[in-house]
Amino acid sequence: MATPQKRSKTTGDEAQNEDESEILEQIDACQNEIDAINEKASEEILKIEQKYNKLRKPFYEKRGEIIKRIPNFWVTIFINHQQISGILEEEEEECLHALTKLEVEEFEDIKSGYRINFHFDENSYFENKTLTKEFHLGSNQEPSSTSTPIQWKEGKNLLKNLLSKPFNNKRKRNLEHKTFFDWYTDNSDPVNDEIAELIKDDLWPNPLQYYLVPDIEIEPEENEDEDNEDDYEEEDYEEEDDGGDDK
């Protein structure tokens, strides 16, 4: 046990100091028993969370299928979300019109990590149908994250294209990542991935709130805003019809 470094010295008497360290050890032993109870409590709570994660899953899946029937649902969520809109470049928004499904999957033991799956319609930017960013945060290994490599189509690599242009995002906040695909491909700091955490803990539990009401007030700039709105209207909606029974 560490030597007491407390500021209030009760006495200089050696005998009493020894006595005190004995009592401190008894307190410590008691504290260890409390800690053991805390650990058991955490384990039990984890089990409950696992159980309810399983129960939630079919509803999340059902929700995902219904959401698919609304064109541009997820890109709208991103645009309406204060922090995430801050990393959305105009051409990335364009590209994310093809995002039909977003999924967050916690690993079975919850504690060790999670993955975010982005499912895309055929699009003019890349070949992938699914991009996955996966976080391994368990205590048995070094934290790490991986992302499915993006198979960009000829001349459509947004990371390269954006590098050659001046950065153009009126909603830009002071965030670590400049653009969405910069965030997606960057796996240098898996422990403090603010965007991934927002997707997992804020968007995923209830995305609808951001569809209905934007989280941000954007200053209207007549010309440019009209341009933006046109972008949302022209995308290939036909391709996004996945047989929803309301159509």
Residue 169 DSSP symbol: -
Q: Are 135 and 114 in contact (CB under 8 A)?
A: yes
Name the token pair of 128: 């992938």
Residue 172 binding its own copies, by CB under 8 A: no
Backbone conformation region of residue 25, classed left if phi is above 0, alpha if psi is from -120 to 50, else beta: alpha
For its own copies, the closer of residues 107 and 211 by Cβ is 211
Question: What is the per-residue binding string for its own copies in 34-73, x denoting contact by CB under 8 A?
Answer: x--xx-xx--xx--xx-xx--xx--xx-xx--xx-xxxx-
R_g of the chain, CA atoms, integer Å:
25
Q: Is 95 exposed, middle or buried (0-12, 13-18, 19+ CB in 10 A)?
A: buried
For its own copies, the closer of residues 53 and 112 by Cβ is 53
Name the residue type at position 11: T
Across the strands, what pairs with 116? 104, 133
For its own copies, the closer of residues 149 and 205 by Cβ is 205
Question: What is the per-residue binding string for its own copies in 187-216, x denoting contact by CB under 8 A?
Answer: ------------------xx-x--xxxx--
Name the residue type at position 66: I
Give the residue, chosen from 10, 124, 144, 151, that forms a contact with its own copies under the rule CB under 8 A: 10
Q: Interface with its own copies by CB under 8 A: which residues?
A: 1-11, 19-20, 22-24, 26-28, 30-31, 33-34, 37-38, 40-41, 44-45, 48-49, 51-52, 55-56, 59-60, 62-63, 66-67, 69-72, 75-76, 79-80, 205-206, 208, 211-214, 218, 228-229, 232-233, 237, 244, 246-247
